[in-house]
């Protein structure tokens, strides 16, 4: 199998995550009230703040766009860099979970599924695809 074909199939997961980050960021930016009201755990951090929530939406938009660009250009470092904020954000959510006493509740399951696991999976897939193709891009 050609390296480009292996890379294309290996990058399906990161591409999906980047596209979802882009769509989520747009929806967070456009409907911050819904994000605050419907996302498990968000209201625990205080009252609604449209500016802050829209900032978060724009970070997701940027991460999604940069990640998709990295995949399109074939650059693993750009793809990994696009996931950096989300990895740090995930570590913060792990810290919050520990601070909350490690409850196995809906907030943790949501965070695990949508905030904690995806960015690290993206980085692992990209780095694994890089080592399999033997490229340094």
pLDDT tens readout for residues 24-38: 999 999 999 999 999
Asked if residue 2 has pLDDT above 70, the reply is no
Band of residue 1 on the pLDDT scale cut at 50, 70, 90: very low
- Which residue bears the tokens 């979802």? 20
> What span, in angstroms and rounded, lies between the C-alpha atoms of 76 and 111?
26
Query: 122 pLDDT band (50/70/90 cuts)?
Result: very high
* pTM of the shown model: 0.89
The count of domains in the chain is: 1
Residue 74 lies in domain: 3-133
**What is the per-residue pLDDT for 130?**
81
Whole-number percent of the chain with pLDDT over 90: 84
Both tokens of 46, joined, read: 């205080």
Cβ pair 133, 76 in contact under 8 A: no
Are the C-beta atoms of residues 37 and 43 closer than 8 Å to each other?
Answer: yes
What residues have CB less than 8 Å from 73, skipping those under 6 apart?
none
With 0-12 / 13-18 / 19 or more C-beta atoms within 10 angstroms meaning exposed / middle / buried, residue 10 is: middle
Is residue 118's pLDDT more than 60?
Answer: yes
Res. 3 pLDDT band, cuts 50 70 90: low
Q: Choose between 125 and 132: higher pLDDT.
A: 125
Given pLDDT bands bounded at 50, 70 and 90, which one contains residue 132? confident
**Comparing C-alpha atoms, which of 3, 22, 25 is closest to residue 14?**
22
pLDDT digits (tens, 9 = 90+) for 43-80: 988 999 999 999 999 999 999 999 999 999 999 999 99
DSSP structural state of residue 40 = T
């Amino acid at each position: 199998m050609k390296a480009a074909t292996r890379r294309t199939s290996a990058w399906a997961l990161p591409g999906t995550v980047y596209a979802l980050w882009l769509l989520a960021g747009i929806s967070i930016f456009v409907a911050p009230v819904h994000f605050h009201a419907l996302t498990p755990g968000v209201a625990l951090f205080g009252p609604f703040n449209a500016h802050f929530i829209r900032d978060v939406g724009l970070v997701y938009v940027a991460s999604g766009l940069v990640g998709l660009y990295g995949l399109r250009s074939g650059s693993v470092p750009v793809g990994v860099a696009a996931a950096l904020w989300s990895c740090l954000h995930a570590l913060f959510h792990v810290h919050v979970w520990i601070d909350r006493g490690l409850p196995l509740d809906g907030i943790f399951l949501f965070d695990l599924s949508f905030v904690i696991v995806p960015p690290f999976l993206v980085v692992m897939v990209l780095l694994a695809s890089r080592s399999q193709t033997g490229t340094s891009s």
